Structure 1
Amino acid sequence: MGGNPLDSQGISELLESITADQRQQYMKRRLNHSCGGENNNFWAFDTTSISSYSETLSKVAYGHNKEDPEMPMIKIALLIDETNGEPLYYKVLNGSIADVSLLRNLFVDLVQLRDKQINLVLDRGFCSEHNFLMMFRNHVGFLADLRSDLAIAAQTVDQLMPSLRLALPEYYSPTIGCYCATKQIDWYSATRAHGKEQYPFYIHVYYDKQREASEILNMTELVESFKARLEKGEVPNAPYFRKFFKKKKDKQKTDKPDNVKPKDLYEFDVQSWVTFTRTCGCFVLGSGEVKSASEALNIYRQKDTVEKAFNNYKDKCGERRIRCRECALEGKVFVTYLSLCLRLMLERRLERADNDPLNTPRVLERLNSLVLYRHETDDKPKLYWQEIPKEDRLLMERLRIKIPAPIFVI
């Protein structure tokens, strides 16, 4: 199609022209479309960090950056429909905001769907008693990964793990390939504003012997590497080092610092190791809706759709670094979000057409080869497509892509 490509200034102006209302209207339609069916889909919600060198973007801040710990970042929150893998919602967040505090704002943004059932799949970063109570009160279904030391889970884990470790056949589920058990507890809350509240809470505990062996072996190798670094005179700056190594209490304060070696200052904490091994191979899910342990794990395992979406967002859509002006940030993220939607929709259509989703780049390349021409006339400009090869037509039909009219007027 004719026309000169936009320069940097033109691109920024285009991104700035996308209003907040337009972005919200689009996401509202996406969300309502996903809620249109009778089935109650589960939506995976998570965040990812996008590193940035920018010193002018107000949302760039230091936080828990998993990829580049020493770099500031912004956060992108993403909501994915687990059934069809399509992105439904996104939000640009300040990089310093902790995940555990995000759910309240999510419910505010989804207020237009209050008459629909919402079911969220969450990782342990969002788990807190406050968030669970908030989801109960707002009638939001949830399935969450729980820390085994979380107050609501710890007692159930202590009760069920001895039986699961015996590997009795009655606790084995062939559909998920591990041992599991469920306990229903009653969630109580009493506040002046809401009075006494009680909700059913299903705690699902899982045990996998192979996972246990792997976790112990990996941690043993890490502990040995810490010991080797202490021998070399280096004190590791790592959370697991601080967890398993404590300073010796009986070390004489009269020793001169120059004569004290790191290996003489620290000792391996056996009790911390015993506490660690007590829950190795164990993982816990909690839900206010899902009663079956097997069903809960199958739903949670589909959460990798959001991880794949983040990988596509960063690598395939070119957003591993944020480089733009403040006024164009929201527009740029929105356009990247749209490209992610289109890519994931195409991947899902490839799956349904019995085509390998890994062929997505090749399919996009073929579709990108189609050319739209602009023909100027005295009346109105006309647009027309070059002849579409038969092979491409068949591909578009299999993917349910509407074949455009040869000529149309604008």
Structure 2
Amino acid sequence: ADDETDRYFHVYYKAKKQASERARLEADLDRMEAEMDKIKGREYKLPKRYEHYFKLTYHKDKFYGYEEREDVIERELQLCGYFAIVTSEKMTASEALNLYKSRDVSEKLFGSDKTFLGNRSFRVASSQAAEAKIFIQFIALIIRARIYTLLRKRKAEMPGKPNYLSVPSAL
């Protein structure tokens, strides 16, 4: 980056993520192969993404056949389950993951159309009131995420698993 800010890369692996990503990739490849088998000998131009996984052969504008790009597919299968988080502040991998999870939860909550946020019908008289309501909801979610993070840290320090250290209970 041109801004000369230090970047810290945290790489993670999850077996469950690996299994789901591998299954999704294999299903996509099977679907692509089935589609290509159906159109052999016809005039048809496949989408660009097919060229990433297969060497496509055309003859006089007709789709002739395909061959797997085994090196590309093998490489993608090896990467299943891995993900990275990039931070601009130095922190442990655990801290980066916890920070990501708390922010991700807030963004998902705010972005979703959950009934508890009241977004199905705003029940406001003006667009200015709707904007104010959305802003307040966003701030509330940020505060909730911070309380959740602090409670989780406190819970980790305590023996046992106290059930009174949830956000609703704390509030």
The CA deviation at 1:309 is 0.5
Q: Residues 247, 334 of structure 1: CA spacing in aligned structure 2 closer, same or farther, 3 A cutoff?
A: same
Counterpart of 2:56 (choices 247, 262, 268) is 247
Q: Percent identity?
A: 20
Counterpart of 2:11 (choices 182, 205, 226) is 205
Give 1:5-404 correspondences, 5 Å limit: 129-130=1-2, 133=3, 136=5, 199=6, 201-233=7-39, 237=47, 239=49, 241-248=50-57, 255-257=59-61, 260=62, 262=63, 264-302=64-102, 303-312=104-113, 316-318=118-120, 331=128, 334-338=131-135, 340-341=137-138, 344=141, 352-354=167-169
- 1:205-244 residue CA offsets vs partner (Å, 9 max, x unmatched): 11223322321221011100011111222765474x3421
Where in structure 1 are there 5+ consecutive unaligned residues? 1-128, 137-198, 320-327, 356-398, 400-410
The one-letter code sitting in structure 2 at the alignment partner of 1:334 is E
Task: Tell me which stretches of 4 or more aligned residues in structure 1 moved more than 4 Å.
Answer: 341-345
* Aligned mates of 1:229, 1:268 — CA distance in 2: 14
Structure with the larger helix share: 2
SS at structure 2 position matched to 1:247: strand
- Which structure has more relative contact order (CA 8 Å, sep 6+)? It is 2
Superposition TM-score, scaled by structure 2 size: 0.61
The CA deviation at 1:332 is 6.7
- 1:263-320 residue CA offsets vs partner (Å, 9 max, x unmatched): x24332212212312322111112232421111111111122111111148984248x
Who wins on radius of gyration, i.e. which is larger?
1
* Aligned mates of 1:245, 1:316 — CA distance in 2: 47
RMSD over aligned CA atoms reads 3.8
Q: Residues 267, 316 of structure 1: CA spacing in aligned structure 2 closer, same or farther, 3 A cutoff?
A: farther
Where in structure 2 are there 5+ consecutive unaligned residues? 148-165
SS at structure 2 position matched to 1:354: helix
* Aligned mates of 2:129, 2:46 — CA distance in 1: 40
Q: CA contact under 8 A between 2:106 and 2:141: conserved in structure 1?
A: no
Structure with the larger strand share: 1
The CA deviation at 1:343 is 7.3
Superposition TM-score, scaled by structure 1 size: 0.29
How many residue pairs were aligned?
A: 142
